[in-house]
Amino acid sequence: MVKLLSTTRDIATLSRGYGRKSKGFLWVKADGLPAEYGDEPLQLKQKFTTLDVAVCEDRVKGINQIIEERPYINTLVLDDAFQHRYVKPGLAIVLADYHNLPNDDYLLPSGNLRESITALRRAHAIIVTKTHKYFSPLEREGIIQKLKTGPDIPVFFSYYNYGALVPLAENEATLAANTKLNKDSNHNILLLTGIANAEYMKDYLTETLLREVHHMEFKDHYQFTEGDIDKLTQKFSTIAGKNKLIVTTEKDAVRLRAANLLPMLAGLPVFYMPVEVSFHGNDKEAFDKLVNNYVRNY
């Protein structure tokens, strides 16, 4: 969305800043800390340095402050705001995880849904995320039928494309490491994650290397401690082979760069794997057209 709109619009993003210890409205700075802004807004700012990124737990207050302080902004992207009824979006896009579709879940407290699946009828579009790269038209139609959105709400399907490994910090260990991952590279990987669902990335690494991936898994938005890094170092030392790496997600890398943790990782080959979203078939063209047609009217 940011890439799509940034060439023609003056955009800003606003989120609650989940997991931050600060309060109120803040503009996110790229050299800040996850505890100040939350990991996802900070990750977004570090990836798109010219983007205006803000956090505020009160969405209405946040929107008004953005308009007041930066009146040139003409497009606002809200994160996780579908259930926030105090703000009515002009274009509501719902993301549905392929591995946890809403029709397979239940309302709280039995499940994770905050609203009935019928609430999807308020959406203007749905994107089913994290599908397999090779995805059958028959399965696509089956999911659309399950979501029961009706013909007026388009459903798009996307998957992840992982990029080349990027060092968390340049040091002797990362500079000397062989980062070309394939079935012949004989790599042993320790995957470190603190995200909602790491299975997609673990499966990708397993399929790429054709071997088991060791995994240290923590809950979503987890704030790593010095004790966790000690355990990581210890576990890494028990993994056999010379061609071994620690791999993490782009979001986790933001939290691992904390001032107290980065020096502890200096002797380890720690890399993160950037990710981009790709659409199946003609879905990208159709989605871009939907968004562009909307913003042209404002």
The whole-number average pLDDT for the span 7-31 is: 94
Residue 265 has pLDDT above 90, yes or no: yes
Q: Which sequence spans correspond to the domains of the chain?
A: 1-89, 164-273
**164-273 topology per CATH:** Rossmann fold (3.40.50)
- Dump pLDDT digits (tens) for 171-192: 999 999 999 999 999 999 999 9
| 108 band by pLDDT with thresholds 50, 70 and 90 | confident
Can the peptide bond before residue 71 be classed as cis, meaning omega within 30 degrees of 0?
no
Q: 282: which residues sit within 8 A by CB, 6+ positions away?
A: none
Helix (H) or strand (E) holding 251: helix 250-256
| Model pTM score | 0.88
Q: Of all residues in the chain, what percent carry a pLDDT higher than 90?
A: 79
Closest CA to 226 of 272, 258, 190, 248: 258
Task: Please give the full DSSP string across 3-55, using - where no structure is assigned.
Answer: HHHHTTS-EEEEE--TT-S--S-EE--TTS-HHHH-HHHHHHHHHSTTSEEEE
d(CA 131, CA 100): 11
Half-sphere exposure of 95 (CA within 13 A, CB side): 13
Half-sphere exposure of 32 (CA within 13 A, CB side): 26
Structural contact between residues 76 and 14, judged by C-beta atoms closer than 8 angstroms: yes
What are 28-34's contacts with CB under 8 Å, separation 24+? 28/53, 28/54, 28/55, 33/258, 34/223, 34/254, 34/255, 34/258
Position 60: which residue type? V
Helix (H) or strand (E) holding 74: none
Q: 20: which residues sit within 8 A by CB, 6+ positions away?
A: 34, 35, 36, 37, 38, 55
Which pLDDT score, from 0 to 100, does residue 176 have?
Answer: 92
Helix (H/G/I), strand (E/B), else coil: 243: coil
Chain-wide mean pLDDT for the chain? 92
End-to-end CA distance of the chain: 17
| 155 band by pLDDT with thresholds 50, 70 and 90 | very high
